[in-house]
Amino acid sequence: MSTPDRPQIPQEELDHIPGAEPSSRIDSWWWLVALVVGITALLLFAWPDPFMNIFKFVQDGIVITVTVTLVSFLLVLIVGMIGGLGRLSTKRPVYIISTLYVELVRGVPLLVQLIIWYFAVPVMIQSLGKAWSLPALEGFQANPVVMAVIGLVFCYGAYMSEIYRAGIQSIPRGQMEAARSLGMTYFQSMRHVVLPQAVRVILPPIGNEFIALLKDSSLVSVVAVADLTRRGREYASIHFDPIEVWMLVALLYLIMTLFSARVVNWIEKKTKFER
């Protein structure tokens, strides 16, 4: 017995169905990254003096900027998860401590926090060393990079805690209840069921936080970290050509942020799922 042929739906009608649009293999906004890279390369090779000289001077600052950003962001993800789970905890002391951390830290500018960590905290540690007769603490000397990373993690961890909290609360309660009904503990349910779904939801704001962290890493230049911004300021103070210096520094930051944005967009597409 033959079955009647099914009617074929025109492709133009399929394209209007949500979720049926053909996905592009390459993000079309990569052209903007290529454009900025091209402009930077043109400046470096067409006018090597001063742009190539500036680049050679600040290239070690680029390494410091990228290193500080990546290390800080990895630690921010961990601190944010702990803070977010604390904000959702049913244990009153844990909830209060987590909430105080988020509310207080978000109320102080990042620049002020970095200054406190680099200038005030070492003095406090040295004072404790004198009071307790501990030579190790009494002679404590702050490492600029370490203290900068701690300051960035401490500040951005508060913002990331709220992102995790919102992402976890966006998952229906039935997911947790179903996992518990299967015999999982609270932590097993959170680890294997809730958090994997929440991470997909919060990927866009996490990507935005990474880009913001990359730009805000320039603030560590005020606490003796020889990042891209500080190296640019040093070159400008020596050669007295601020226009060329800050034009190139801005382009280098732009390349890093635009590249990061495209990578984040690619990750979002790879992990996207339909509700």
The answer as to whether 100 is a domain residue is yes
Above 90 in pLDDT, residue 200? no
Does any domain span residue 15? no
Structure-model confidence comparison of residues 199 and 215, the more confident one? 215
In a domain, 132, yes or no: yes
Q: Which range marks the domain in which residue 61 is found?
A: 31-271
CATH of the domain at 124: 1.10.3720.10
| Percent of the chain whose pLDDT exceeds 70 | 89
Least trusted range by pLDDT, from 81-85, 165-169, 179-183, 231-235: 179-183
DSSP string spanning the chain?
Answer: -PPPPPPPPPHHHHTTSTT-SPPPSS-TTHHHHHHHHHHHHHHHHH-IIIIIHHHHHHHHHHHHHHHHHHHHHHHHHHHHHHHHHHHT-SSHHHHHHHHHHHHHHHTS-HHHHHHIIIIIHHHHHHHHHHHHT-HHHHT----HHHHHHHHHHHHHHHHHHHHHHHHHHHS-HHHHHHHHHTT--HHHHIIIIIHHHHHHHHHHHHHHHHHHHHHHGGGGGGGT---HHHHHHHHHHHH--HHHHHHHHHHHHHHHHHHHHHHHHHHHHHH----
pLDDT band at 46 (very low <50, low <70, confident <90, very high): very high
Distances (CA, A) of 201 to 24, 52, 168, 257, 264: 21, 43, 9, 22, 13
pLDDT surpasses 50 at 22: no
Tally of structural domains, the chain = 1
Tell me: the pLDDT tens digits for 87-101? 998 899 999 999 999
Q: Residue 52 has what pLDDT?
A: 95
Above 90 in pLDDT, residue 38? yes
More confidently predicted of 191 and 208:
208
| Residue 92, in any domain of the structure | yes
In a domain, 17, yes or no: no
Give the integer Cα–Cα distance in Å for 154 and 102.
10
Whether residue 249 lies inside any domain: the answer is yes
- Distance between CA atoms of residues 271 and 201, nearest Å: 10
Work out the average pLDDT over 133-149: 90
pLDDT of residue 116: 96
pLDDT higher at 187 or 246: 246
Predicted pLDDT of residue 18: 47
Residue 26 lies in a domain: no
Report the pLDDT value the prediction gives residue 180, as an integer from 0 to 100: 84
pLDDT at 127 over 90: yes
In a domain, 255, yes or no: yes
Quick one: pLDDT band at residue 28, thresholds 50, 70, 90?
Answer: confident
* 28-32, 164-168, 186-190, 262-266: least confident range: 186-190
